[in-house]
Amino acid sequence: MTFGLNTFLFQSPFTNNSFHLVKKFKDWGFDSIEIAIENVGDVNPALLKKSLDDHGMVCKSICAALGPGRDLRGTKEDQQTGLDYMKGLLDIMPAFGATELIGPLYSAVGRAEPRDDDEYKRQWDIVVKHLQTLASYARKRNVRLAIEPLNRYETDFLNTCSQAVKLVNDIGNDAAGILLDTYHMNIEEKNSATAIRAAGRKLFHFHACGCDRGTPGNDHINWNDITAALKEINYDGGVVIESFTTDVKVIAKAASIWRDFEPSKEDIAVKGLSFLKKNLN
CATH number for the domain harbouring residue 229: 3.20.20.150
Measured between alpha carbons, how far is residue 278 from residues 107, 238, 270, 273 in Å?
Answer: 35, 15, 12, 8
Domain that holds residue 27: 2-280
pLDDT of residue 254: 74
pLDDT of residue 252: 74
- Residue 242 a catalytic site member: yes
**Could you give the CA distance from residue 277 to residue 105 in angstroms, rounded to a whole number?**
29
**Could you give the CA distance from residue 13 to residue 22 in angstroms, rounded to a whole number?**
15
Helix and strand tally (H, E) in the chain? Answer: 10, 8
- Residue 188 a catalytic site member: no
Catalytic residue among 38, 100, 189, 242: 242
Q: How many domains does the chain have?
A: 1
Reported as half-sphere exposure (CB side, CA atoms, 13 A), residue 254 has a value of 19
Give 10-residue mean pLDDT values along the chain (281 residues).
95 95 98 97 98 98 95 98 98 98 96 94 98 98 98 96 98 98 98 98 97 94 97 97 79 78 90 96 79
pLDDT of residue 114: 93
Burial of 133: CB neighbours in 10 Å, binned 0-12, 13-18, 19+: middle
Catalytic residue among 148, 154, 189, 262: 148
Beta strands in the chain (DSSP E): 2-6, 32-37, 61-64, 100-103, 144-147, 176-181, 203-207, 238-241
Q: State phi, psi for 230 to the nearest 5 degrees.
A: -60, -40
